[in-house]
Amino acid sequence: MKKKGQKITGRRFWLMRTEDVSEVSGIGCVADGIVFPDGVAVLRWRTAGGSTAVYDSIKSLEMIHGHDGRTKIKYIDKDL
Instruction: Please check the confidence at residue 50 and state whether its pLDDT lies above 90.
Output: no
Work out the average pLDDT over 51-79.
91
Distance CA 78, CA 55 (A): 20
Give me the residue spans of the domains in the chain. 11-19+27-75
Determine contact, residues 25/17, Cβ cutoff 8 Å: yes
Query: Between 44 and 67, where is the model more confident?
Result: 44
Who contacts 36 (Cβ-Cβ below 8 Å, separation ≥6)?
A: 9, 10, 42
With 60 as the cut, is the pLDDT of residue 1 above it? no
Distance CA 21, CA 23 (A): 6
Prediction pTM value:
0.80
